[in-house]
Amino acid sequence: MRVLGISGSLRRDSYNTALLRHAGELFEAEGAEFEIYHGLRDIPPYDEDYDNEDASEAVARIRAAVRDADAVFFVTPEYNSSVPGALKNALDWISRPFAANPLRYKPVAVIGASSGMFGAVWAQAELRKVLGAIGARVSEGEVAVGQAGERFDENGRLNEPNLEQEVREVVLTLLGDARSAAQTGQPSANRIAG
């Protein structure tokens, strides 16, 4: 089982990327391969005029990374009550061509962190909506790490066992959904009538 992790924050010392790394340890503890996607910064603004063979190599790279993963795990901050532009922009590239995009039917999960009280819950909700519209299989579960400046130890790991347990539950749900999707990956040819 290969899981791709994407952080919506580009900041070097991002709480969200720290949260993603911690989630990655939990995925690996469950026997999954986990890889963090680096390179959101390199993706140009979506422009349909360049959505062809002239598209940036960074676009091809993220599309391939999503395609090759069995599941994608998103961790997002909240900018102005919504999804960070760089993450939304990457999703806009990934989602084309729409009917054959690599997120279609892909099991995904979303959690988030913010320095404020609410842990990016609005951004998470909007990201789930966007992923659903793209055609992803959005897992249940939410983790909102509020006041993130106080939630990580000096090694960048969550310092509260209950938060870690919440993340683990989302990790387990996503892995379960990915296993189910792998079993039903090909539409059945059975027909009941005719």
Partner 1 sequence: MTTIDVQALPAGTWSVDKVHSSIGFAVDYMAGTFHGTFGDFDAAVTDGVLTGSARVASVQVPDENLAAHLQSPDFFDAQAHPELTFTSKAINRDRDRITIAGEITIKGHTEAAEITGEISDPIADPYGGERFGLTLRTVVDRAKFGVSWNNPLPSGEPALAGEVTITAELQLSKQA
40: which residues sit within 8 A by CB, 6+ positions away?
6, 7, 8, 10, 62, 86, 87, 90
**Contact predicate 17/145, CB 8 Å:** no
How far from the centroid of its chain's Cα atoms is residue 35's Cα? 11
Q: Choose between 106 and 168: whose C-beta lies nearer to partner 1.
A: 106
By CB under 8 A, residue 116 contacts partner 1:
no
| Member of 13, 52, 161, 192 binding partner 1 (CB under 8 A) | 192
Q: At its nearest, how many Å lie between partner 1 and the CB of residue 138?
A: 7
Nearest to 75 by CA among 2, 22, 153, 132: 22
Binding-site size, partner 1 (CB under 8 A): 22
For residues 75 to 104, the per-residue mask of contacts with partner 1, x marking binding by CB under 8 A and - elsewhere, is: -----------------------xx----x
By CB under 8 A, residue 48 contacts partner 1:
no
**Contact predicate 35/3, CB 8 Å:** yes
The three-class DSSP label of residue 76 is strand
Q: Choose between 63 and 137: whose C-beta lies nearer to partner 1.
A: 137
Contact residues toward partner 1 (CB under 8 A) are 98-99, 104-105, 132-138, 180-181, 184-185, 187-188, 190-194
